[in-house]
Copies of this chain bind each other. A is one copy, B any other.
């Protein structure tokens, strides 16, 4: 079967709780929003594949409402495969800062445009920072409830640090840019 990260995200999440594809999507979009993303286009085919390979099992919930929720549970083989993957070194981080691509060619644009890109970056990071602070506050009181929460906290703290550093950089950059393009100091 395909050996991409999506596979291990699903196994990892299912190692905590049985879930549906829909649940997984929401989990990733919250817990992991800072550093990972998955679309349904990856989730559903991967679930099918994992089931075929007996790393997870499916139980169709025929509940009162007649909905067909498909709840997946990790198997022992799945847990083993997850742990093997965890033991391998991680690849280096991949970043795509489209705004830096625009900023690095800032000599081809005008001043206000460059300011705008930085301001938008700052705003994005302020939103992330707030979200991370919120997550932190939510997780801290329940740290003792599960070992897993501690590791969520660690990832949240990195998101917090980086978004904070990004906002601070943006403030400095705006200042530098204004000095650079604008008023020369009187002499």
Contact = CB atoms under 8 A, between A and B. Distances in A.
Interface of A: 5, 8-9, 12, 15-16, 31-32, 34-37, 79, 82-83, 85-87, 89-109, 113-114, 116-117, 120-121, 124, 146-148, 150-152, 154-155, 157-158, 161-162, 164-166, 168-169, 172-173, 176-177, 180
Given A35-B100, A87-B109, A158 B166 contact: yes
20 contacts: A31-B104, A32-B101, A34-B95, A34-B97, A35-B100, A82-B105, A83-B108, A83-B109, A85-B102, A86-B106, A93-B95, A94-B95, A97-B158, A100-B155, A114-B151, A150-B180, A157-B172, A158-B173, A161-B166, A161-B168
B79 A108 contact: yes
Say how many copies of this protein the assembly contains. Answer: 2
B101 A8 contact: yes
B161 A12 contact: no
Nearest to A118: B154
Given A105-B151, A107-B150, A154-B177, 6 more contacts: A89-B117, A90-B101, A103-B151, A103-B154, A104-B154, A161-B165
